[in-house]
Amino acid sequence: MPVLGFNITRVEMKKVSFSVPAGQIEVRLSPKIEEIRLGEIRTPTGKLNGIEILFRYEIEYNPKIAEGAIDGVILYLPPRKEKMDEILNLWEDEKKIDPITFAEVVNFITKEVSPMLMLLAKEMRLPYHVPLPRVEVRSS
């Protein structure tokens, strides 16, 4: 995995409505890349350059019963050293990230952030953002 470091910098969740309406509730997750810049990590063998990716992971409920976001930063190390310059230049010029790197980063962030969103939803008595498995009794 090319992600070497991960830090949460801010967590916010706000309940807008104190009653959860009956019926279908849609939960939308929106991962966003806020900034990409050169970063470094210190290892026992010296400093290692990588890419710092600042992100914001938003969660919205429809109907609007709650909203929230988690901000953080990851240190990403591309598989090839030349790829680092390509990623930084593309961000600097167009504020874009290539689809393969974006998918890799968002999948990592989702894996790290999902348990926290589950805990926040449980504590605030909100619907979960992913369906939980359910046991059903069937008559034979």
Tens digits of residue pLDDT in 52-102: 999 999 999 998 999 999 999 999 988 888 888 999 999 999 999 999 999
Q: In what order do the strands lie in the sheet with 66-76?
A: 3-15, 66-76, 46-62, 26-43
pLDDT band at 109 (very low <50, low <70, confident <90, very high): very high
Q: What is the pLDDT of residues 5-28, one digit of tens each?
A: 899 999 999 998 887 778 888 999
Convert 54-68 to b/e letters by CB count within 10 Å (16 or more is b). Answer: bbbbebebeeebbeb
Phi, psi angles (nearest 5°) of residue 29: -105, 135
Closest to 113 (Cα-Cα) out of 75, 69, 77, 76: 69
